[in-house]
C-alpha cells in the first residue's frame, strides 16, 4: 500500500468526522491533519494482499468507496483522490446511488433524491404525520389515501432502521404505524352503507410492503354501493373514480376516446371495475388481478350473503437503494390522465407476487 502517493490527499475529506459530508457536501476540501501521514497498519484490510484488495475496491460503487475511505486514516490514503471532481462527473442516477450508499450507513440522515444530498432525519416526519421536505421542493410522493402520505424517505429510513435494529426504534415504530378510517354514507331515500379502511405497512424480506383493505357493508345488496357510490384509490393506475364502478368505467372510456385523438393507442385501465363486477356475480369467490404498471396486486370478494365487499391491495415499495434502482417512481402519481392508461398491453409477469409475499409473512 505504501507505494501509493501519500501526498496527493489535498482534496480528501477532513478528519473531523463523518458529518462533514452532510448538507454541505461541497465542503470536501478538508483541513489537512498533521497526522495524515501516520498510516494505521492495524486495519485488517491491509492484511489482505493488494492484488486481492485493490480489485475489490475497484468494484465498489463510488458511495461505498467514499464510506470506506472515511473509516480510517489509512484507508483514506488508499483512496487518495479528488472526491469533489469524481462526484461532479457522476450522472444524475449515479449521484443518487452515491448518496443512497452514503445514507445507508448513517442512521441520522437520509438521501434526498430531489436535491441529491443528505438531509438530517426528522423523527416527527412519518406517513401519518408528514412534514414538508426540507428543501421545499416537490419530490417523489404517494398519497395512498387521505391522511396518509408515504414519501421515499419514509420507506428508506424504515428499511435502514429495521436493518440496523438498535437505533431510532421509536421512529421506526412511527414509520410502521398503521392507518385506518371508518365512514358511514347515509341517504335520504336509500339505506346506508359503511366503509372501513385499513392500511398496514410491513417489512418483508427487507422490502417495504403495504396492504390496504376496504370493507364495505351495505344494508342492501353491496352491488349498490360498488356500482354507484364507492371511490377506491390504491395505486396511481388502478382505481375506481368517485361514483362507483359503472360511472368510473363510463368516465374513463369517454376520456380515453378523447385522448386517442392525440395519443393513438391510449386505452383505459378498468381492472378494478371489472373485478368488482365479476365479484358481485360470484359471491364467495375471490377475484385476483394485478396492476400492469406497478408492483401492486388486487383482490375483490363479495360475501355469500351479498352484503359485504372486501377489496384488498398489496404494494411493493422495494428495498433499500436509490429510487432509480428500487422502482419507487412507478408508485408516484403523475399529473394528467396518463396514469390510468395502458402503456402497451404487456401484463406484469410477476402478478400475485406481492400478495403471496404478504400472506407468507407472519407479523
Ligand atoms: Zn432535498
Ligand atoms: Zn439539507
Ligand atoms: Zn399501479
In the numeric block, the cell 436535491 is attached to: 115
Nearby residues of 195 by Cβ (< 8 Å), 6 or more positions away: 182, 183, 184, 185, 214, 215, 216, 217, 225, 230
- Answer yes or no: is 43 within a domain: yes
Q: Which residue has the higher pLDDT, 62 or 120?
A: 120
Q: Which residue has the higher pLDDT, 361 or 51?
A: 361
Residue 9 has pLDDT above 60, yes or no: no
Give the ligand with the smallest distance to the CA of 133. 1
Cell of 170: 421509536
- Answer yes or no: is 51 within a domain: yes
Distance CA 29, CA 20 (A): 10
pLDDT digits (tens, 9 = 90+) for 102-114: 899 899 999 988 8
Buried residues in 85-117 as b, exposed as e (16+ CB within 10 A): ebbeebeeebbbbbbbbbbbebbebbbbbbbbb
CA of 263 to the centre of ligand 3 (A): 20
Distance CA 304, CA 282 (A): 8
CA of 339 to the centre of ligand 3 (A): 8
Q: Which residue has the higher pLDDT, 66 or 231?
A: 231
Looking at the structure, do residues 232 and 119 belong to the same domain, yes or no?
Answer: no
Looking at the structure, do residues 243 and 278 belong to the same domain, yes or no?
Answer: yes
Average pLDDT for the chain: 82
CA of 10 to the centre of ligand 1 (A): 28
Looking at the structure, do residues 166 and 187 belong to the same domain, yes or no?
Answer: no
- Answer yes or no: is 127 within a domain: yes
Domains held by the chain: number: 3
- Answer yes or no: is 77 within a domain: yes
Give the ligand with the smallest distance to the CA of 120. 2
- CA dihedral (18, 20, 25, 27) in degrees, to 10, reads -130
pLDDT digits (tens, 9 = 90+) for 289-311: 999 999 999 999 999 999 999 99
Residue 17 has pLDDT above 90, yes or no: no
CA of 175 to the centre of ligand 3 (A): 22
According to DSSP H, which parts of 50-105 are helical? 50-58, 62-71, 73-78, 83-88, 92-103
Residue 25 has pLDDT above 60, yes or no: no
Residue 246 has pLDDT above 90, yes or no: yes
Domain end: 89, 120, 147, which one? 89
CA of 349 to the centre of ligand 1 (A): 34
Give the ligand with the smallest distance to the CA of 138. 1
Looking at the structure, do residues 143 and 287 belong to the same domain, yes or no?
Answer: no
Looking at the structure, do residues 325 and 307 belong to the same domain, yes or no?
Answer: yes
Long-range contacts, 126-130 (Cβ 8 Å, 24+): 126/154, 126/171, 126/174, 126/175, 126/177, 127/151, 127/154, 127/175, 127/177, 127/179, 127/201, 128/174, 128/177, 128/179, 129/174
CA of 138 to the centre of ligand 3 (A): 21
CA of 131 to the centre of ligand 1 (A): 13
Percent of the chain with pLDDT over 70: 76
CA of 245 to the centre of ligand 3 (A): 17
Residue 33 has pLDDT above 60, yes or no: no
pLDDT band at residue 36 using 50, 70 and 90 as cut-offs: very low
Q: Which residue has the higher pLDDT, 359 or 44?
A: 359
Domain end: 89, 121, 137, which one? 89
3-class DSSP assignment, residue 176: coil
- Answer yes or no: is 217 within a domain: yes
Give the ligand with the smallest distance to the CA of 121. 2
- Answer yes or no: is 99 within a domain: no
Q: Which residue has the higher pLDDT, 262 or 27?
A: 262
Looking at the structure, do residues 60 and 153 belong to the same domain, yes or no?
Answer: no
Query: Which residues are paired to 218 by β-bridges?
Result: 193
Looking at the structure, do residues 231 and 136 belong to the same domain, yes or no?
Answer: no
Give the ligand with the smallest distance to the CA of 237. 3
Give the ligand with the smallest distance to the CA of 122. 2
Looking at the structure, do residues 167 and 217 belong to the same domain, yes or no?
Answer: no
**Mean pLDDT, residues 345-353:** 81
pLDDT for the residue numbered 44: 57
pLDDT digits (tens, 9 = 90+) for 193-214: 999 999 999 999 999 999 999 9
User: What ipTM, to 2 d.p.?
Assistant: 0.71
Looking at the structure, do residues 164 and 186 belong to the same domain, yes or no?
Answer: no
Looking at the structure, do residues 157 and 267 belong to the same domain, yes or no?
Answer: no
pLDDT digits (tens, 9 = 90+) for 164-188: 999 999 999 999 999 999 999 999 9
pLDDT for the residue numbered 282: 97
Looking at the structure, do residues 182 and 312 belong to the same domain, yes or no?
Answer: yes
CA of 57 to the centre of ligand 1 (A): 29
- Answer yes or no: is 201 within a domain: yes
- Answer yes or no: is 3 within a domain: no
pLDDT band at residue 3 using 50, 70 and 90 as cut-offs: very low
The segment with the largest mean pLDDT, out of 36-50, 145-159, 162-176, is 162-176
77 lies in which domain range?
A: 18-89
Distance CA 297, CA 213 (A): 12
Domain end: 60, 89, 118, which one? 89
Looking at the structure, do residues 113 and 259 belong to the same domain, yes or no?
Answer: no
Amino acid at each position: 500500500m505504501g507505494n501509493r502517493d501519500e501526498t496527493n490527499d489535498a482534496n480528501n475529506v477532513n478528519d473531523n468526522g463523518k458529518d462533514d459530508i452532510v448538507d454541505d457536501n461541497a465542503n470536501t476540501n478538508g483541513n489537512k491533519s498533521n497526522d495524515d501521514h501516520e498510516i494505521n497498519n492495524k486495519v485488517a484490510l491491509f492484511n489482505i494482499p493488494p492484488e486481492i484488495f485493490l480489485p475489490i475496491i475497484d468494484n465498489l460503487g463510488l458511495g461505498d468507496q467514499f464510506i470506506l475511505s472515511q473509516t480510517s486514516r489509512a484507508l483514506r490514503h488508499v483512496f487518495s483522490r479528488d472526491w469533489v471532481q469524481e462526484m461532479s462527473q457522476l450522472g444524475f442516477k449515479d449521484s443518487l446511488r452515491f448518496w443512497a450508499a452514503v445514507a445507508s450507513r448513517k442512521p441520522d440522515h437520509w438521501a434526498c433524491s430531489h436535491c441529491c444530498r443528505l438531509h438530517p432525519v426528522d423523527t416527527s416526519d412519518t406517513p401519518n404525520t408528514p412534514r414538508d421536505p426540507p428543501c421545499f421542493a416537490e419530490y417523489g410522493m404517494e398519497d395512498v389515501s387521505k391522511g396518509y402520505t408515504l414519501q421515499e424517505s419514509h420507506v428508506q429510513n424504515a428499511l435502514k432502521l429495521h436493518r440496523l435494529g438498535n437505533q431510532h426504534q421509536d421512529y421506526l415504530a412511527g414509520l410502521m404505524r398503521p392507518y385506518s378510517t371508518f365512514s358511514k354514507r347515509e341517504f335520504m331515500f336509500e339505506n346506508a352503507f359503511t366503509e372501513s379502511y385499513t392500511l398496514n405497512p410491513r417489512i418483508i424480506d427487507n422490502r417495504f410492503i403495504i396492504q390496504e383493505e376496504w370493507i364495505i357493508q351495505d344494508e342492501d345488496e353491496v352491488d349498490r354501493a360498488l356500482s354507484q357510490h364507492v371511490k377506491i384509490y390504491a395505486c396511481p393506475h388502478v382505481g375506481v373514480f368517485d361514483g362507483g364502478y359503472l360511472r368510473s368505467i363510463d368516465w374513463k372510456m369517454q376520456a380515453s376516446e378523447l385522448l386517442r385523438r392525440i395519443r393513438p393507442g391510449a386505452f383505459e385501465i378498468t381492472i378494478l371495475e371489472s373485478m368488482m363486477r365479476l365479484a358481485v356475480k360470484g359471491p364467495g369467490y375471490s377475484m385476483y388481478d394485478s396492476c400492469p404498471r406497478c408492483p401492486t396486486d388486487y383482490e375483490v370478494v363479495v360475501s355469500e350473503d351479498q352484503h359485504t365487499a372486501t377489496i384488498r391491495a398489496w404494494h411493493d415499495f422495494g428495498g433499500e437503494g436509490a429510487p432509480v434502482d428500487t422502482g419507487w417512481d412507478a408508485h408516484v402519481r403523475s399529473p394528467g390522465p396518463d396514469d390510468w392508461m395502458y402503456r402497451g398491453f404487456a401484463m406484469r409477469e410477476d402478478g400475485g407476487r406481492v400478495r403471496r409475499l404478504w400472506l407468507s409473512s407472519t407479523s
